């Protein structure tokens, strides 16, 4: 048993942010199920932990449970709900990481969840259909996952995935289909809060992609906030005192943002595509020495 736990720890440490988010969601699910079994065996029915982690629609109760807009996005009550959310997170998370950093994905996950929570609370306190349903609460990572789905789809809409029986389909069509399905389900009495939250997460994901294409990363502040929170729990290593050393740094060293990196890679790819088109038309001898060098460099990457 100890060996299995240690291997799981190693897999978590070595995994990317998608792997870690899946680990967290699955771990929370298992822990809550174990607690539920213990409570049931000892006839403890007065305390339902999931309702304390889910976000309530009743605003006065929400004010007393300010942790729930964060905690709800990591909690699932049913295995099927967890399974589908984690599969979508895994598939689209991999696509997202081909264009963005892990920090951006983690930040968008949180922002998408917050957007879903906000729209859920607003809808159930203002829209008559939802208001008449009375007080309730919501759990699940669906809004967070939808933000990642829409962010990846609207940033690179031409990306294709293979679907069983359907072949290659652009991810933009999958994202739009999921959004329309949720929108048409807003009047359904089954999981109404979930569909509202999905819409909130999807809109946040679309907004992220649209702003990113214009050079603005809306997740940057959230990334700094998450880094600050994580830093509070990291043990500070004691380092021996050393003599002061003067270190000179080159003034021209610059660190690219995600947007700058993606723009540079896109420009380089467009140049290579143009060279390849010229190669097909006029052959290798028709390329200039600079074009030959760029083609050679690209082939080595």
In a domain, 246, yes or no: no
pLDDT band at 241 (very low <50, low <70, confident <90, very high): low
285 and 222 belong to one structural domain: no
Say what the pTM is: 0.77
The whole domain housing 295 covers 258-300
In a domain, 134, yes or no: yes
**Which of 108, 78, 81 minimizes the C-alpha distance to 17?**
108
Answer yes or no: is pLDDT of 240 > 60: no
284 and 169 belong to one structural domain: no
**Which of 131, 118, 113 minimizes the C-alpha distance to 74?**
113
Cβ proximity of 32 and 99 under 8 Å: no
196 and 274 belong to one structural domain: no
In a domain, 250, yes or no: no
Answer yes or no: is pLDDT of 282 > 90: no
172 and 268 belong to one structural domain: no
pLDDT band at 252 (very low <50, low <70, confident <90, very high): very low
10 and 110 belong to one structural domain: yes
In a domain, 240, yes or no: no
Q: What is the per-residue pLDDT across 64-87, written as a single tens digit (0 to 9) for each?
A: 999 999 999 999 988 999 999 999
212 and 268 belong to one structural domain: no
In a domain, 186, yes or no: yes
88 and 185 belong to one structural domain: yes
In a domain, 139, yes or no: yes
User: Looking at per-residue confidence, does 245 or 7 come out higher?
Assistant: 7
Percent of the chain with pLDDT over 70: 87
Distances (CA, A) of 205 to 16, 146, 152, 241: 20, 7, 8, 47
166 and 277 belong to one structural domain: no
22 and 101 belong to one structural domain: yes
Q: What is the per-residue pLDDT across 50-62, written as a single tens digit (0 to 9) for each?
A: 889 999 999 999 9
pLDDT of amino acid 112: 97
189 and 266 belong to one structural domain: no
Dist CA 114 CA 128 (whole Å): 23
127 and 59 belong to one structural domain: yes
CATH of the domain at 186: 1.20.1540.10
> How many structural domains comprise the chain?
2
Q: What is the per-residue pLDDT across 145-183, written as a single tens digit (0 to 9) for each?
A: 999 999 999 999 998 988 877 788 999 999 999 999 999
In a domain, 196, yes or no: yes
In a domain, 192, yes or no: yes
Cβ proximity of 28 and 34 under 8 Å: no
205 and 263 belong to one structural domain: no
């Amino acid at each position: 048993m100890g060996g299995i736990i240690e291997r799981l720890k190693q897999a978590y440490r070595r995994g990317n942010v998608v792997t870690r988010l899946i680990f967290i969601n699955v771990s929370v699910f298992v822990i809550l199920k174990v607690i539920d079994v213990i409570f049931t065996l000892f006839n403890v029915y007065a305390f339902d932990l999931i309702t304390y982690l889910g976000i309530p629609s009743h605003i006065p109760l929400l004010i007393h449970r300010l942790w729930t807009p964060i905690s709800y996005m990591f909690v699932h009550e049913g295995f099927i709900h967890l399974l589908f959310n984690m599969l979508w997170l895994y598939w689209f998370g991999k696509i997202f990481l081909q264009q963005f950093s892990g920090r951006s994905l983690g930040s968008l996950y949180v922002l998408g969840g917050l957007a879903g929570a906000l729209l859920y609370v607003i809808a159930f306190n203002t829209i008559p259909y939802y208001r008449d349903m009375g007080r309730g609460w919501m759990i699940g990572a669906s809004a967070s996952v939808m933000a990642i789905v829409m962010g990846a789809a609207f940033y690179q809409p031409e990306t294709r995935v293979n679907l069983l029986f359907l072949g290659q389909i652009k991810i933009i069509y999958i994202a739009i289909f999921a959004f329309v399905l949720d929108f048409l389900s807003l009047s359904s009495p089954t999981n109404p809060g979930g569909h509202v939250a999905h819409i909130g997460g999807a809109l946040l994901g679309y907004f992220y992609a649209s702003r990113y294409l214009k050079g603005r990363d809306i997740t940057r502040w959230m990334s700094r906030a998450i880094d600050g929170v994580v830093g509070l729990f990291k043990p500070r290593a004691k380092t021996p005192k050393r003599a002061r050393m003067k270190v000179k740094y080159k003034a021209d060293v610059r660190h690219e943002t995600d947007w700058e990196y993606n723009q540079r890679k896109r420009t380089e790819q467009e140049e290579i595509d143009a060279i390849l088109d010229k190669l097909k038309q006029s052959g290798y001898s028709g390329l200039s020495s600079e074009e030959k060098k760029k083609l050679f460099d690209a082939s080595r990457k």
